[in-house]
Amino acid sequence: MVQNTSIMYLVTEQLTRRNNLIVTSLLRQLNPAIKFTQNVRRKQNKSNSPLSSLFKPVSVKTDLNDTNIGAELTGTLNKREIIQILCTFANNNTVKDLSKKYGLDEVIFTAAMNGFRKYCIDADTLPPDLHIILSDIAQKAGNITDIFPYFLRFAKQMYPHLNCLDELRKISDLRNPPYWYPLARAKKRKIIFHAGPTNSGKTYHALQRFMSAKSGVYCGPLKLLANEVCIKCNSMGTPCDLITGEEQRYANNIESPANHVACSVEMANIQNFYEVAVIDEIQLIRDLGRGWAWTRALLGIAADEVHLCGEDAAIHIIQSICLTTGESVEIKEYKRLTELQIENTALCSLQNVMPGDCIVCFSRNEIFTVSNAIEKLGKKVAVIYGSLPPGTKLAQAARFNDVNSSYKILVATNAIGMGLNLHIRRIIFYSLSQPILDQRGEMGIGTISVSSALQIAGRAGRYGKQWDTGFVTTYKPEDLPLLKRLLEQKPEEITRAGLHPTADQIELYAYYLPNAPLSNLIDIFIALCELDHTLYFICNLDDFKYVADMIQHIPLPLRQRYVFCCAPVNRKIPLTCSMLLKYARQYSKNEPATIAWLCKQVEWPPKIPSSIADLIRLEGVFDVLDLYLWLSYRMPDVFPDANRVKELQGELDKIIETGIKKITNLFKSTQRGLGNRNESNMEEKLKRFHDKYDQKGTLSDSLISRGLLTPKMLEQLKMEWSTEHDKEKRRHNKALTSKNLDKYRR
């Protein structure tokens, strides 16, 4: 009997991990003695600070009525007696117990009591009923607890959430995301998971079904991928529209959209019905920043068939989520179409690069350093990294893929992992360390994940192209054993999917807490929200809150404020942040951001870059134009010149591409410019970054990986700091000796 109970307990634990209410109900009937608890808990605040610390007090206005009715009825109150009464009230155990029942924890009770005491003492005129109660207590004719209703009324004015805490909890109940999408739940959907590694043909088969359907939607992780699918469909006779955050392109026109649409996953329309939906790179459902978009697409797209493409590491989480929607998952597994070989020797020297090689770096600075070194060897290099404009990336990819081109070597970041069709013979990892965002939203340096290693290495070799077999190795010999271990493993199983508060939820929060800033509303939402932690997590919202705080002082309607906070802004680039502020001000003043206004802000026309710094600034300008387009599709009245801005982007794309072609000259100009920099300014920047990156890997690793420092610069700085340290030490010793001599003389 004991053994059977133990087995039942183990089975129960495994099943209840997924919080399946149907299964737990069935097991409860089989064995009523076993207790079940639903694995749902409230999201804890990052700092483990009490919930009450998130609620900001509101100033309570005193009664401005000149007529003191209370004084006329009972006489003037003695302030000293009032202080004693309120001290007794604050220490009364019955009062404390009542306060807890009404949601006043110790923090809020103390703050509200301080405010109430100040209010009673400073006010020239108190409400008549409160005045009379205090007078009765002073004359021993009333009980100290009689004050509580008036204190509670004041506390609710000071902390409005006390009136609506239950409503706030209901709004932030995220335990059943499937029910947010009634159109999808009304359909009997067929879920097909195409699982396989890179270069296995999984997406190809899903797209074949997409193009043969009467209607369909393709959801991709990047606008480049969505654009590629759109072009392919139209070229094969299936009219297809393109919808991304920054661009809308129609096969016919906006009045008669095509039955097929390729979009970035965030732009998926969950109000339309489709025959087939394809959600690409479904494993990104675990992404700490964007995972919510894949969860939304998976649960919300109303299609007869939903085709998911991605790593087999996502199979389990997809099955678990579909269990809650009552849908089954058909799994189609694919194997790699071409052979991938891990070489037994590292590259060791850039002189050993060969045609078809791609050197993968994890910082823009490494990209510039490596490409410059290779070009010095007389070999032409194509360059691809994340912040390049899409047109430049495509042009660089085309140059590298062209068998007749002289650009036989590619230097790229992990941006090549998805989104570009590249004909690579060999992948060479220049390093296996990269900046990593942890679950707390903090940046550190760590080894690349198994998933990243497999995805990037898998880009070597291309079925049906010139390189049937792919090769992979490292630049440093000491990295090769680690790479082999990474590639021998399977990606870690994905256990949870991302969620994100919607604009409607935050709008309801603002209705109950009208004086709270948007970033504070987000903090309160996260602290109060309840979700099934075995299936879901709340995505990192630090960027959202950063923008919310940045534009808090600008008067905007909440819905528009939320839109601005969702805008694609890299908060590490001052130019884009300052332009977002200007865009928000234009909207606030209801003044159109015209093309003339925009050109003035970005100092148009730009010059061809003469240094790496110039190139980086132009990339920032391109992001500013992208941001304008993103806003123009959401606020067309204030951002009316989208077509003109697209023309500017086309011109800027060509200028940046010209700069990339001359990357060696840019690198030389940059190195010359570094010699003239003020070293104290550099030291100041390094100190600021040290504060940020302390305890997250070494400062030098952080700066080098982020492209802010080169190894050569680091050595130079070490020498200079060592010299300065010695000088400072000598000055300190001299001062100490002088001080001791003074003491001796005295």
Segment-wise mean pLDDT, segments of 10 residues, the chain, 746 residues: 40 41 38 36 44 79 66 81 91 91 87 90 84 88 90 89 87 92 95 92 94 96 91 94 92 90 95 96 94 96 96 95 95 91 93 94 87 90 88 88 90 81 91 72 75 90 78 94 92 93 90 88 90 93 93 93 92 91 96 95 90 88 95 95 94 88 64 48 42 46 51 59 62 58 49
Q: Cα–Cα distance between 387 and 401 in angstroms, integer?
A: 21
Query: Which tokens in the block code for residue 37?
Result: 């608890």
Write down how long the chain is. 746
What is the pLDDT at residue 27? 35
What is the pLDDT at residue 731? 65
Instruction: Classify the C-alpha dihedral 149-155-160-164 as positive or negative.
Output: negative
What is the pLDDT at residue 683? 40
**Cβ within 8 Å of residue 555, ≥6 positions away:** 588
At residue 108, the 3 state secondary structure works out as helix
Q: Cα–Cα distance between 175 and 41 in angstroms, integer?
A: 10
Other Cβ atoms closer than 10 A to 278 = 30
**Cβ within 8 Å of residue 372, ≥6 positions away:** 663, 664, 667, 668
Q: Cα–Cα distance between 27 and 171 in angstroms, integer?
A: 31
Could you tell me if 210 and 261 are in contact, meaning their C-beta atoms sit under 8 angstroms apart?
A: no
Q: What is the CA radius of gyration of the chain?
A: 32
Enter the DSSP assignment of 224. H
What is the pLDDT at residue 333? 94
**Cβ within 8 Å of residue 221, ≥6 positions away:** 264, 265, 280, 281, 284, 290, 418, 419
What is the pLDDT at residue 279? 97
* Sheet with 340-342, side-by-side order of all strands: 340-342, 470-474, 426-429, 357-360, 409-412, 381-384
Instruction: Report the predicted TM-score, pTM, of the whole model to 2 decimal places.
Output: 0.77
What is the pLDDT at residue 39? 39
What is the pLDDT at residue 267? 94
What is the pLDDT at residue 476? 93
Q: Which of 630, 548, 553, 544 is nearest to 593 (CA)?
A: 630
What is the pLDDT at residue 44? 38
Could you tell me if 702 and 693 are in contact, meaning their C-beta atoms sit under 8 angstroms apart?
A: yes
Task: Give the orientation angle of helix 642-661 with respect to helix 612-632, to 10 degrees.
Answer: 160
Other Cβ atoms closer than 10 A to 662 = 16
**Cβ within 8 Å of residue 44, ≥6 positions away:** 527
Could you tell me if 155 and 116 are in contact, meaning their C-beta atoms sit under 8 angstroms apart?
A: yes
Cα separations in angstroms, 115 against 106, 329, 434, 625: 14, 58, 50, 49
Q: Cα–Cα distance between 627 and 621 in angstroms, integer?
A: 10
What is the pLDDT at residue 308? 97
